[in-house]
């Protein structure tokens, strides 16, 4: 996206063509990775990050431009890889819906992501806690 006016233009980091999140089981749409970080601690690229032996196994949070986020426990090797880097185009598919949830609590949707650039796949839930949980 370009903005003109003062002689300065800005190119948006992410294309605006992301599909809305899939709502029907088994359907897919395209989006773009906005960020990939460790869930609750500094991540590679953060100013206060320092790699240590405890990195492996930390939960990873991936955020897409269409507002879908998933949590996956793939840890250090996954977050340091080039898979699902910011700006990558991904296919996102709704794999399962939460069951027997309290009214209004729909946490626990499971999605699969496919990175078109690297061919990597990951599956995760849209919330660390499933419906009815913490």
- pTM value is 0.74
Q: pLDDT at residue 18 above 90?
A: no
The predicted structure's pLDDT at residue 7: 39
**Quick check: helix, strand or coil at residue 100?**
coil
Q: CA dist 71 to 17, 130, 134, Å? A: 24, 11, 15
**Predicted confidence band of residue 117 (pLDDT cuts 50, 70, 90):** very high
Q: In the predicted model, what is the mean pLDDT of residues 30-35?
A: 93
SS3 1: coil
* Number of Cβ within a 10 Å radius of residue 20: 10
Question: Which SS3 state, helix, strand or coil, does residue 80 take?
Answer: helix
Q: How confident is the model at residue 74 (pLDDT cuts 50, 70, 90)?
A: low
Q: What's the number of CA atoms in the CB half-sphere (13 Å) around residue 110?
A: 11
d(CA 2, CA 97): 38
The whole-number pLDDT of residue 17 equals 62
pLDDT of residue 104: 86
pLDDT of 45 reads 72
pLDDT for the residue 10: 34
Eight-state DSSP code of residue 57: T
């Amino acid at each position: 996206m370009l903005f003109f006016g003062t002689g300065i233009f800005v190119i948006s980091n992410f294309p605006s063509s992301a599909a809305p999140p899939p709502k029907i089981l088994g359907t897919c749409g395209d989006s773009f990775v906005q960020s990939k970080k460790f869930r609750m601690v500094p991540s590679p690229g953060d100013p206060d990050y320092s790699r240590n032996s405890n990195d492996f196994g930390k939960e990873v949070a991936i955020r897409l431009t269409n507002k879908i986020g998933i949590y996956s426990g793939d840890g250090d090797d996954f977050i340091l890889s080039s898979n699902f880097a910011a700006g990558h185009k991904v296919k996102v598919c709704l794999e399962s819906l939460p069951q027997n949830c309290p009214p209004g609590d729909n946490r626990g949707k499971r999605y699969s992501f496919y990175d078109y650039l690297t061919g990597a796949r990951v599956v995760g839930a849209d919330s660390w806690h499933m419906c009815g949980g913490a």
